[in-house]
Structure 1
Amino acid sequence: MEIRPARPEDVPVILELIHDLAIYEKEPHAVKNTVEALEKNLFGEHPAIFAHVAVEQGTVQGFALWFLNYSTWESVHGIYLEDLYVRPETRGKGAGKALLRTLAAIAVERGYARVEWCVLNWNEPSIRFYDSLGAVPQDEWTTYRLTGEALESFGGTAAAASESEQPA
């Protein structure tokens, strides 16, 4: 199993795996991403997301998509793992562990404070896997998300307020 940074030619299979992940997470129609958008976000002029792939016998079998976060307390970046997915037929061969180990190595090499991610509460196989690595759930924090109509309503109010504060 080879772990390497994603290349532009990997984008279609990464998107395929994103769709597979959405099906696994019981959200098969939630993916709005496209090959063009993902390629631009990963390889455009100012990429803010990064990906590594697990390749076995020339075929991408899994991926880790991540971006940098920042700790204001420690004054250093960290890695936020947005998605980690390995094809079901490849699970148990070490691809997921190798992908996470690669991100951990990047964090250590660059002096980052942490690698963190979220996992669905019902996803027991992944939770057991993460526990086996020594990862610790952050149960004192609750993730919040502002999206859809609530985001538009709240963000639109702020945009309108900031526009009205502009000098004429």
Structure 2
Amino acid sequence: MTVPVARRAHPEDLPRVAELAAEHAAYEKAAPPHPDLAARLHGLLFATESPRLRCLVAELPDGTVAGYATCSLELSTWEAAEYLHMDCLYLTETARGHGLGALLMAAIRREARALGVTRVEWQTPTWNDGAIRFYDRLGATSKEKRRFSLPVD
């Protein structure tokens, strides 16, 4: 391979994806992922014929996985239709600015088309100006909302 590619993750990529997820959490000042994240991801990605989660990786020409994106189908009540929710998109600091984010977003859009949905939605922290500029350059639009979380325990 002589150019970077965005491709679906393979089972052997999951330890690296878990490392990147830990970097991602630290970058967003969030709690670290579950220590057994690679195994948990394996169950969501590869344990059934209809995986709940999809994971794409950005691979450099030397074979290094430098980023990932995850997505899953969600439902819009107001439209009574599914859409693809991109939960994460992360690139290592040294991989940013080299077109890998655009490769991953193009791969996410291909996933959406293959699933028969017409849009992708995601969120990013309000302080992540670099990501916001990137998404604006792609032609994405944003809505001002706040995300809430409520434990069920």
TM bracket (short chain): 0.7 to 0.9
Segments of 5+ residues of structure 1 without an aligned counterpart are: 153-168
Asked if the contact 1:3/1:53 (under 8 Å) is kept, the reply is: yes
Structure-2 residue corresponding to 1:30: 32
Aligned: 1:89 with 2:91: no
More helix by share: 1
Return the match for 2:150 from 140, 146, 150.
Answer: 146
1:48-63 matched pairs, under 5 angstroms = 48-56=52-60, 57-63=62-68
Q: Which runs of 5+ in 2 are unaligned?
A: none
SS in 1 for 2:141: coil
1:59 CA displacement: 1.1
CA RMSD of aligned residues (A): 1.6
**Contact 1:76 / 1:113 at 8 angstroms: preserved in 2?**
no
Higher gyration radius (CA):
1
Report what 1:112 is aligned to.
Answer: 117
Q: Distance in 2 between matches of 1:16 and 1:78?
A: 28
**Partners in 1 of 2:5 and 2:137 — Cα distance?**
22
Using the size of structure 1 for normalisation, the TM-score is 0.81
Q: 1:144 offset after TM fit, Å?
A: 2.3
State the 1:109 CA deviation.
Answer: 4.1
1:43 aligns to 2:46 (yes or no): yes
Paired residues, what number? 147
Identity %: 35
Match of 2:70 in 1: 65
Deviation per CA, 1:78-115: give whole Å up to 9, x if none. 11011100111111111111101111122234431310
Is 1:19 the counterpart of 2:22? The answer is yes
